[in-house]
Amino acid sequence: MSGHKRYRSRSIRDISGDIALDCVSLAAVSLIALPGDAAISRVLADLGGRLHADRAWMFEYDTDLARFRNTHEWCARGIRSHVEDLQDAPVSMIGWLQRSLLAGKAVMIDDVSTLPPAASALRREMLRQLDRSVLSVPVFHGGRLRACIGFDTVRELREWSDAEAAILAVCGRMIAEARYGAPDVRRLARQDSAPLVYIGHGGTIRGIPFDQIVGIRSQRNDTMVWLDDGSVIVDRRPLAAWRDLLPQARFPSIHRTAIVNLNHVSGLDKHAGAGFHWQVRLRIVEDDWPVSRQHRKTVVERLGL
């Protein structure tokens, strides 16, 4: 592979090559036979295993194509999962990739380390997940980009073939029709019931959607939880327990004493105070919260700056 760029994009309609009928047939059977998200998970597992990937995954966009979230992932034995990362992440993080996906192109990254400066945010995230080679294929329905499916390799570099991209493209079209199609086949559409985190409050247990949590700060052995309705709840668990509960991609630590929900960050001040300390501004929270030096890089990357 020496002597040429180790990333490229190809128009899906121009891809040729033998389609692995067994992969496509298994995908069709899974989408017909299995209920809900289990069908997509089975398709990814079959594809990833048969085509010798380390991960097979899918992420979906919001209606404005402004944010995306990991929804499904299969991992080979011994490979770490990252499906809980990149929940409601800004599309600016994948801007270099997004241009090709919007144009209906498969993006074949044979060597993540060779990505150009324009893809620096994407490269950092892929390397954080230990990706070495990545294949991404857009999923369209009704003329609109809805999702992306793809493969990662972690253990070795991979030169992706046109046939592999074609298999993903065909399976992606079947997933799109099942998930976003006519009402009678929309059984795969994701249920929008938000996951809850449970907090003991006033002698009762209260379930709170993640999106309603603005930020969390430690207070001695307890934590203070700020909610988007302006209320503050005292929780008896230490901050370390919250770090394990919350998806870190959306809820990064900004200080050893604080975690924030990036969806509620309204500003970042890099020149606060005489010592030029960093602070974040949060919606409905009166005071700015400090960002410690060791967490600055994470905050910048997660905000897509």
**In this predicted structure, what is the pLDDT of residue 187?**
45
pLDDT of amino acid 175: 86
| CATH number corresponding to 7-188 | 3.30.450.40
Q: What is the distance between the alpha carbons of residues 40 and 221, in angstroms, rounded to a whole number?
A: 42
Q: How many CA atoms lie within 13 A of 58 on its CB side?
A: 27
**Where on the phi/psi map is residue 276: left (φ > 0), alpha (ψ -120 to 50), or beta?**
left
Please give the pLDDT value at position 184. Answer: 46
The two domains 7-188 and 196-302 share their CATH topology (first three levels equal): no
pLDDT of residue 189: 46
What pLDDT digit, counting tens, does each position of 192-228 carry? 445 667 776 555 667 788 888 999 999 887 899 999 8
Distance in angstroms between the alpha carbons of the first and the last residue of the chain: 33
Residue in the block written with tokens 């960002």:
291
Residue 185: per-residue pLDDT: 43
Torsion from C-alpha of 74, 7, 63, 298, nearest 10 degrees: 80
Determine the pLDDT at residue 305: 65
Q: Which residues of the chain fall short of a pLDDT of 50?
A: 1-3, 13-21, 23, 29, 33, 35, 184-193
* Class of domain 196-302 (CATH, top level): mainly beta
What does the alpha-carbon distance between residue 217 and residue 14 come to, in Å, rounded to a whole number? 53
Domain residue ranges in the chain: 7-188, 196-302
pLDDT reported for residue 188: 46
Question: By CB neighbour count within 10 A (0-12 exposed, 13-18 middle, 19+ buried), where does 48 fall?
Answer: buried
Q: Cβ(7)–Cβ(131) under 8 Å?
A: no
Does this model's pTM top 0.85? My answer is: no
